[in-house]
Amino acid sequence: MEAPSIDTVYQAISALYDNPNVNEKEKASIWLGDVQKSIHSWKVADELLHQKKNFQACYFAAQTMRSKVQHNLSELPDDAVISLRDSLILHLESVSPDVNSAILTQLSLALADLALQMPTWQNCVSDLIKIFSNKNNFALLEILTVLPQEIDSSSLKLGDNRREQIKLDLRGNSPIVVIFLKDCINSSQTSNIALKIIRCMTSWTQVKAINLQELAQNPVVGLCVQVLRDYNTHNSLHEAATDCMCAILDCLEQNNNGDEVERMLFDSLSALEESYHLAVAHEEEEKAANLARLFTELGETFLERIIISTANGQGHFAMRSLELALVCVGHHDYEIAEITFNLWYRLSEEVYQRDYQQLTDAFKPHIERLIEALARHCQCEPDDQSLPEEGDEFYDFRVKVYELIKDVVFIVGSSSVFRKMFSVLQANLPWEQTEAALFIMQAVAKNILPREEYDFVPKVIEAILSMPEDSHLAVMNTCIQLLGELCDWIEKHPQCLEPCLRFLVRSLVQPKLANAAAVALQNICKACRSEASCHAALVVEAARAADQLALPIHTASTLMRALAAAISRLPHDQLCSAMRESVGVQLAGLSALLESNTELRKGSPTDPVLWLDRVAALFRDVDVAPPSDPSKGHPCMPAFKDAWPVLHRTMQKYVREGRVMERVCRCVRFCVRGTGRDAAELLPALATSLPPLYAIYQHSCLLYLTGVLADALGGPLSAPPLAHLLHALLPPALELLGKPDGLKDNPDTVDDLYRLCVRYLQRIPLQFVESGCCTAVVSCGVKAARLDHRDASCSLMSFLYDLLRLAHESDPATPLGSQINAIVSDYGEALTYALLEASALYLHAYMLSEVGKVLLELVDWQRRHGVDWVAAALPRLPRGRAHATEQQCWQFHQYAVKAVKCKEATRLLRDFARLYR
């Protein structure tokens, strides 16, 4: 791109912001994007900033400058970088307080990112304070705020060495920054400046640059407490002060700071309870939420010390923080109560791990009050006639309450909570309070000991079964869900089973209750398989009526899973008939759809997924007891043989529909898993049917299904058809991945291909290696190592790990051992470099545990064969702005070749990778 004229740039910016023509806007956006990517954008942005013609042009220039500094600083020679710094400082010096904050922020980020990437600019903080102080404190506050924030920016790739050097510089310069902030407090009383002062302090605190021992004398801490105490504070300033104090508390939690500092902060913040009550009284919800967050953070900061003191039979001054959190839980707005949830999770975890009854008893009153308050928050609106809908805020809140209660209930005992909620039911209360009590009972129902609870559960079940039909919809729905959660209790008291099943089957008729009823049926039938078989006819009739009831796809599938569980314990001949009949009903519907020419509409009766999911559900949950006569075969195999021709026709008709193909493969998967080794009878048909389909369209689900076949049916007898299948599928799969960006564009294929190879390696390793396939997939794996897709990377690493383990465990004198060791010998050096490069430059930190397992095996192989590919790989890694020093590479090598545990290797990789990021 040639250097554009400034006038043309102005015209494009005007078209982008002011032209009503959409096409012209799009053209301008594309052209300006090209300008930003070009080398000329440095000069263009600088000139636009000097001219200050209008806001749009200045913002475009500032944003361009920030983006170029962040991503393309290497385009400039060293002397130009210094000129750029001076130019940015000049622009920022001239920024007035009334300039748009977005422009100031972008320019400040540009200067901060530049400073972080200029190791030659030493003492940049003190230089900036000298340059800007008394000239433009407003701009200086913004620069000092964003500078610490950018240290851990993933875009900058500073590397740990530079990052630690910067943090050391910040800690050394923090006293002069605190003095500067104090001067700003003394010289200006505007809320805007106060906001910037507090945000600056927060940034420096978050990077651990502030000396905690001097907090008592820190003027910004006093300012924050004053802001939080003052009822008339603006909301944004109040939130900033909360953020700052939470950052300080987070630092306190991670350090041993001495009782004096901790007590001072605790006393100052706990004294804000009155401010919280004032905020509540004046309906200042944002301020109440801020203080709830602060009290929660206060409790988390001191939680470990509270636990230790309480376990030793002593009190701790911070115990009051739990009371403050409970005050917030009592707020009428459930969103404020939700702010405290992490504190209760952490409390329950600490108490559970210590498993000390005296400690558990100490926190019972807190958890009892918590659950009582949560029961109030879970109440629906009295005039609401519908159910809480999945996805809305109140529904999500109740889900979180449900999980929290399950987590903390051991402290007070499930039976105790159940009894307390039962007492609520006995009072003549409005429906919303009754429903909330039932909801809390549902959360603890699974923990009720079936052989110890005889008093309350029978009464609850009896009350549910005798509920009038005109009961509120939400109450009915929660009752149904509660029955499902009581499945373990019902299993131990089978006299309740039939009436419960009848109640749930009747509930299927009501569209809004059908899904809850189907889930409850599934839970109960699964928990009571043997007893449910005596009442299977009930569930069979309900399943037959699924189409007449027009149940949604997922509800019908759940009902089929309940049916499969109910018929699982029938005598084998009866199970065979029941399974063929149940599957046959679905196949009939699917066959009719295949023979018609109706257009596929998702979720409608013309959607084959409707039938496929039902067949999959039937095979998924059937759990057959071992036969007395193994020669008779699996009782579900006839149903599978009935299904396969129809499933194959479905694949042929919808071969280009990815969603349908995935569901057919899923269906076949459950058929194979459900029938076990007997499914080998259909393996030849499957092995000849899948390759033509994959040749038409490379759906990765076909690779996944092949892996399932190998896992479930792999063995000496099934090796020929499985080998044929692999030979047919592998070339087009590798061709797809070998295209430009093929690995990046097809991560699902990478995932399913290597998952497949793992199964072949585990089940028929010799045939897999001798076929030549292993060499091809290892070669592809070297290139795929840098793919930052979680599932794909995990499958690839699983394959490489299993391959190296097999090389380790196999006798080198055998054909399998010799060939695998030859493959490792040929590709080991390239693989070692690929793993180190991927770890340092491409993969997310959470993915490195899988890489660590592979590297450990690879290093072990190297030790046994007297080679050292790690030493050869390290000097080849790029030496950009962020890299490991020679000393760090040597140190990594020394530890890596001696590592024996996966955690050790993972930690090494993560620490090493941070040097490049």
pLDDT of residue 287: 97
pLDDT of residue 256: 72
Question: Given a cut of 70, is residue 772 above it in pLDDT?
Answer: yes
**Which whole number is the average pLDDT over 392-405?**
96
Confidence of residue 549 (pLDDT cuts 50, 70, 90): confident
Which one-letter amino acid corresponds to residue 599?
A: E
Of residues 477, 472, 559, 554, the one with CA closest to residue 512: 477
Q: Is 422:453 a contact under the CB 8 Å cutoff?
A: no
pLDDT of residue 169: 96
pLDDT per position as a tens digit, 418-432: 999 999 888 888 999
**Which whole number is the average pLDDT over 847-866?**
96
Q: Which of 93-107, 119-133, 292-306, 626-640 has the lowest mean pLDDT?
A: 626-640
**Which whole number is the average pLDDT over 83-100?**
91
Integer Cα distance of 299 and 147 in angstroms: 30
Mean pLDDT of the chain, nearest integer: 94
Question: Given a cut of 80, is residue 221 above it in pLDDT?
Answer: yes
Q: Is 733:740 a contact under the CB 8 Å cutoff?
A: no
CA–CA distances in Å: residue 487 to residues 84, 532, 910? 70, 12, 45
**Which whole number is the average pLDDT over 214-225?**
94
Which one-letter amino acid corresponds to residue 160?
A: D
Q: Is 803:762 a contact under the CB 8 Å cutoff?
A: no
Which one-letter amino acid corresponds to residue 604?
A: S
pLDDT of residue 69: 96
Question: Given a cut of 90, is residue 915 above it in pLDDT?
Answer: yes
**Which whole number is the average pLDDT over 814-839?**
96
**b vs e for 150-184, b when ≥16 Cβ sit within 10 Å of the residue's Cβ?**
bbeeeebbbbbbbbeebbebbeebbeebbebbbeb
Which one-letter amino acid corresponds to residue 58?
A: C
Q: Which residue has the higher pLDDT, 747 or 134?
A: 747
Question: Given a cut of 80, is residue 629 above it in pLDDT?
Answer: no
Integer Cα distance of 400 and 509 in angstroms: 30
Question: Given a cut of 70, is residue 701 above it in pLDDT?
Answer: yes
pLDDT of residue 1: 80
**Which whole number is the average pLDDT over 461-488?**
93
Of all residues in the chain, what percent carry a pLDDT higher than 90? 87
pLDDT per position as a tens digit, 252-285: 988 776 778 999 999 999 999 999 999 999 999 9
219-227 contacts, C-beta under 8 A, 24 or more apart: 219/178, 219/181, 219/182, 219/185, 220/178, 220/181, 220/182, 220/185, 220/244, 221/245, 221/248, 221/265, 223/185, 223/194, 223/197, 223/198, 224/198, 225/268, 225/269, 225/272, 227/194, 227/198
Encoded tokens for 688: 């000849």
Q: Which residues make Cβ contacts (< 8 Å) with residue 401, sequence separation at least 6?
A: 374, 377, 378, 443
pLDDT of residue 372: 96
Tell me the residue length of the chain.
917
**Which whole number is the average pLDDT over 612-636?**
87
pLDDT per position as a tens digit, 300-330: 999 999 999 999 989 899 999 999 999 999 9
Integer Cα distance of 669 and 904 in angstroms: 37
**Which whole number is the average pLDDT over 196-213?**
96
Integer Cα distance of 770 and 751 in angstroms: 23
What is the maximal distance between C-alpha atoms in the chain? 94
pLDDT of residue 7: 94
pLDDT of residue 329: 98
pLDDT of residue 628: 64
Confidence of residue 202 (pLDDT cuts 50, 70, 90): very high
Integer Cα distance of 647 and 665 in angstroms: 9
pLDDT of residue 99: 83
pLDDT of residue 449: 82
Q: Which of 41-55, 88-102, 195-209, 514-528 has the lowest mean pLDDT?
A: 88-102
Q: Which residue has the tokens 């941070």?
A: 914
Of residues 730, 755, 860, 868, the one with CA closest to residue 807: 860
Question: Given a cut of 90, is residue 134 above it in pLDDT?
Answer: no
**Which whole number is the average pLDDT over 21-26?**
92
Dihedral angle at the C-alpha atoms of 612, 613, 619, 620, nearest 10 degrees?
150
* Torsions phi, psi for 392 (to 5 deg): -85, 165
Integer Cα distance of 709 and 18 in angstroms: 61
Q: Which residues make Cβ contacts (< 8 Å) with residue 795, sequence separation at least 6?
A: 750, 751, 752, 753, 754, 755, 758
Confidence of residue 386 (pLDDT cuts 50, 70, 90): confident
Question: Residue 313 burial by CB count (10 A; 0-12/13-18/19+): exposed, middle or buried?
Answer: exposed
Q: Which residue has the tokens 């690493």?
A: 797
Q: What is the DSSP letter of 448?
A: S
Exposure of 203 in the CB half-sphere (CA atoms within 13 A): 22
Of all residues in the chain, what percent carry a pLDDT higher than 70? 99
DSSP codes joined into one string, 159-193: HHHHHHHHHHHHHHHHHHHHHHHHHHHHH---HHH
pLDDT of residue 670: 97
Question: Given a cut of 80, is residue 9 above it in pLDDT?
Answer: yes
**Which whole number is the average pLDDT over 168-172?**
96
Question: Given a cut of 70, is residue 359 above it in pLDDT?
Answer: yes
**b vs e for 726-741, b when ≥16 Cβ sit within 10 Å of the residue's Cβ?**
bebbbeebbebbeeee
Encoded tokens for 141: 């506050």
